[in-house]
Chain A
Amino acid sequence: MPSSEIVNQIGLSHYLVLSAVLFMMGFLGVLLRRNVLVMMMCIELMLNAVNLAFIAFSKFSGRIDGQIMVFFVMTIAAAEAAVGLAIIVSIFKRFREVNIRFFEHLKG
């Protein structure tokens, strides 16, 4: 069994490591998945990981600002998701398919 101190004593680093792991998973998803919607979701996952880190810092440093930041991040994420989905809808209407290859048409 890992040393009891790490398992039982849940400290800031536990939360941060969890957030890092989630963030990396999201990043990997963004890199690897072909379907743009899933990419968007992975971005949401990354944002959630960030929120977790914020809350952890806010709890362990005793300042409330973390939670306010989470509040802002959440709104931005919602806005980003909305616009992203609108773009994806218009791409879908145009190409009947929703994968990253069609976004290359937006290339300059």
Chain B
Amino acid sequence: MTADAFIFWFLSLVAVMSGLSVVMMANPIYSALSLAMTMVSLAALFATMGAYFIAGVQVIVYAGAVMVLFVIVLMLFDLREETKAFTRGQISGAIKLAMVGFLAGLVVFVLTQGVKLMAAPDVVDAAKLPEDSSKALGLILFNRHVFGFEALGVLLLVVAVGTVALARSKGGTHAKQ
């Protein structure tokens, strides 16, 4: 069991367990926190794959801001233990479960078989990617994908304005009178 393998298996176990608890937890706050946990573990996984900047961003942006947003909203709603966490309808539930299971099986089957073709060259290429790929990311992001970057800026602006308008529209402390 090499160190890397151990790290990978440990982190993926954490990710899977917290992912499961996101779905299974009755109390939404716990599921939110477990989701934060998943994100941090994923960030660690990213770090193992050399994407340090993305890992940092993941933690700062995703775990640090988006999840905090969720937690704030949850706390504002003061949602406690949910008695009926899952939607009604046994049959539809069963169908959904079966469907997702089958889908997962299919995808995994495809991945394990198909990717084998991909697997071969990866060992060779691994070296090509620099140990810390943040610099490469920055270069390409601001050269080839600068338009995308600006578009994202605009998108975020639009979202900010939209969210404020939406939140203020109906009732509440800052509602338009």
Contact = CB atoms under 8 A, between A and B. Distances in A.
Within the complex, are A and B direct neighbours (CB within 8 Å)?
yes
B66 to A, nearest CB: 5
Interface string A41-62: 1101100100110011011111
Interface string B2-39: 10110011001001100110110000100110010011
Interface residues of B, number: 85
A58 B85 CA distance: 38
Contacts of B122: 11-12, 60-61
A31 B155 contact: no
Contacts of A8: 1-2, 5
A18 B96 contact: no
The residue among B2, B137, B155 with the most chain A CB atoms within 10 A of its own CB is B137
A55 B93 CA distance: 33
Contacts, number: 238
B84 A48 contact: no
Contacts of B107: 20, 23-24
A33 B86 contact: yes
B62 A21 contact: no
A82 B66 CA distance: 8
Interface of A: 7-18, 20-29, 31-35, 37-38, 40-42, 44-45, 48, 51-52, 55-56, 58-62, 64-65, 67-68, 70-72, 74-79, 81-83, 85-90, 92-94, 98, 100
Interface of B: 1-2, 4-5, 8-9, 12, 15-16, 19-20, 22-23, 28, 31-32, 35, 38-39, 42, 45-46, 49-51, 53-54, 57-58, 61-62, 65-67, 69-70, 73-74, 77, 79, 82, 84-87, 93, 96-97, 100-101, 103-104, 107-108, 111-112, 115-116, 118-119, 122, 125-126, 128-129, 133, 136-137, 140-141, 145, 148, 152, 155-156, 159-160, 162-163, 166-167, 169-172
Given A44-B62, A51-B58, A92-B77, 11 more contacts: A11-B122, A14-B8, A25-B16, A25-B22, A34-B82, A48-B62, A55-B54, A75-B156, A78-B66, A81-B66, A93-B172
